Amino acid sequence: MGLHNRSRYGRYAGGPDPLAPPVDLAEALDAVAEDVMAGYSPRRALQEFLRRGGRSQEGLDELAGRIQQRRKDLLGRHNLDGTLNEVKKLLDAAVLEERKQLARDAMMDNTDRAFREMQLQNLPRSTAAAVNELASYDWQSSTARESYERIKDLLGREVLDQRFAGMKQALESATEEDRVAVSEMLRDLSALLDKHRRGVDTEEDFQEFMARHGQHFPENPQSVEELVDALAKRAAAAQRLLQSMSPEQREELMRLSAQAFGSPDLMAQLGQLDETLQALRPGEDWTGSERFEGQEGMGLGDGTGVLQDLAELDELAEQLGQDYDGSHLDDVDLDALSRQLGEDAAVTARTLAEIEKAMHDGGYLKRGDDGNLQLSPQAMRRLGRSLLRDAAKQLSGRQGRRDTRVAGAAGEPTGSSRPWEFGDAAPWDVTRTITNAIRRTIADGGDPGHGVRLAVDDIEVTETEERTQAAVVLLVDVSFSMAAEGRWVPMKRTALALHHLVSTRFRGDRLQLITFGRYAQSMDIGELTALPAVREQGTNLHHGLLLASRFFRRHPSMQPVLLVVTDGEPTAHLLPDGESVFSWPPHPQTIRRTVEELDRVGRVGAQSTFFRLGDDPGLERFVQRMARRIDGRVVAPETDELGAAVVGEYLRAHFRGRPYGDSDWAQ
């Protein structure tokens, strides 16, 4: 082996890490469901979670805050005097060296020396005017001449750096040959863009141009369109830079630009380039400006780069804001985000985008008949399972022990077994199931010693005595006080937990969810979960009990179970014509009609429990009397214990005082 087959490892750079763990949707689903139950639409709820983030996950708002802070830092750190100050330093150095040379030159004619000294003494205060006035000056000092020539070189590199990133550094110490090459590049670029503007360019034209001049384009464009995009963004930023300057600064730079490389032709070429780019990309911001207030001076090229950064930050802020139609987190430019805030910010945005995508593709959100997003049945099951586990923990803690396990769908074991049928929730008879599999394997000519594979026909389940099935009504108060007092979401969480328990562990039972506010209404779990709070007066328990009675009559062979959750006395009842009458304080007729309907529920033998929320004395007296009237119970749980209380009462009604096992039914 030796040293020749060593492997080298580095950071994966081919996109999202293929070995990264999948995103955890549990927290996102819980947060979205909580907001949906509070009245948000599923889409709005998902957006809110993505904005807030999770316990260990940054959200969009935090990323947007970092974007705004970086923007503020750029404006607060820099000013636009960099090039002017650098030119002034070079000019002052040239004039000082020239004066020294004039003082040392004893051979010079006194008249000529006096004229030169007067010319230097009376230079205009404007840096640009002084530079232009000295354009034809015959320098006596070679050092002064070099300083002055460096002004022309600096200006040439700066104006090119405004349009082509990195040109200032690339042309430092450039030869005349290099300048000629740049001039040729500008001519070829102008020709290419002119053909593109007229629609007659070809792929070969672009490839030939890049083969000759590609070193000047660090963006590495792959087409003419990408080349135009890069150039237009830079050129537009250069325009915004000039417009961000004071009128005096702008005038100085315009006058100085004539001295760039000592060639007015350069500015003419760049002016033509800007005109072409503006025609090709009119949508770029060619007229904006910024207010720089810092102490760190920038040259034209660096300033243009900062303006590009500011424009990129503004685009990122819009992408992260997600306030436009059809917005998705896939819209966020991760490369730009990484450039501006670092790789960690890009990872955060990518993770949020994966959560958004997984919530849709994973089946947790679906389109309803009206085209709007809804929580899917899969999401409801997952949420219900989680809420049921929470209720189980509260029940277990309240009981102080772990009760005997009883599977929800079975009664008492008889000692025999039977073949499994679809929908069976009875426990398997493991011994007989394995025995069946071994016998079948031998009959098929197989060797059980090499393993046994179970088939559906092998499965037998424990035979149990028939247990009474229940027709269960959960009556929940949806008057506005439930929302105003913070009981709206706990009420929905309770309904979800009970619905999941009945639909997964007690499938023989029938559950009806009935809401009662000004009117009562039967709802499925999806409708109840998405029900918004309505500011409407009325607690029409009479109507709710009427619907409960009808449900019990439809299931005469089942044990009726009534669970009522309310935070107020009845304040409305139904008239024969179907209209609801509201009265506060409660009208005697409302109480009378409610009690009459309660008596009907009592006559069918319903096991009834009233869950009183809040400390209203009138409500307490009312529910106590109602419960005594039909031999029911009253439970007054804290709001955060409502789910456990309702589930516990449902199980108590089932097992009639026998122990029930939360560790089984809560799975």
Which tens digits make up the pLDDT trace of 114-131?
Answer: 888 899 999 998 898 999
- Reported as a single tens digit per residue, the pLDDT across 46-76 is 888 888 888 888 899 999 999 999 999 999 9
- Reported as a single tens digit per residue, the pLDDT across 176-218 is 888 888 889 999 999 999 999 999 999 999 999 999 999 889 8
Residue 486 and residue 441 share a domain: no
Residue 49 and residue 71 share a domain: yes
Q: Is 395 among the domain residues?
A: no
Check pLDDT > 90 for residue 378: no
Question: Quick check: 602 and 610 in contact, CB under 8 A?
Answer: no
Residue 92 and residue 61 share a domain: no
What band does 268 get if pLDDT is binned at 50, 70 and 90? confident
- Reported as a single tens digit per residue, the pLDDT across 565-599 is 999 999 999 998 989 999 988 999 999 999 999 99
Q: Is 10 among the domain residues?
A: no
Measure the CA angle with vertex 461, ends 460 and 467; round to 5°.
Answer: 150
Q: Is 610 among the domain residues?
A: yes
Q: Is 303 among the domain residues?
A: no
State the residue range of the domain holding 565.
470-665
- Residue 351 CA to residue 356 CA, distance in Å, equals 9
Q: Is 14 among the domain residues?
A: no
- For 94-122, letters b (16+ CB in 10 Å) and e give bbebbbebbeeeeeeeeeeeeebeeebee
Last residue of a domain, one of 432, 465, 498: 465
Strand-strand pairing, 580-582 and 572-574: antiparallel
Residue 660 and residue 587 share a domain: yes
Query: What is residue 8's predicted lDDT score, i.e. its pLDDT?
Result: 45
Last residue of a domain, one of 257, 291, 325: 291
Please count the structural domains in the chain.
4
Q: Is 63 among the domain residues?
A: yes
Residue 655 and residue 506 share a domain: yes
Q: What is the CATH number of the domain that holds 572?
A: 3.40.50.410
Residue 425 and residue 281 share a domain: no
Residue type, 342: G
Residue 132 and residue 212 share a domain: yes
Q: Is 405 among the domain residues?
A: no
C-alpha gyration radius of the chain: 40
Residue 593 and residue 549 share a domain: yes
Residue 165 and residue 97 share a domain: yes
Token pair in block for residue 210: 């890049």
Q: Is 600 among the domain residues?
A: yes
3-state DSSP percent of the chain in helix, strand and coil, to 5: 60, 10, 30
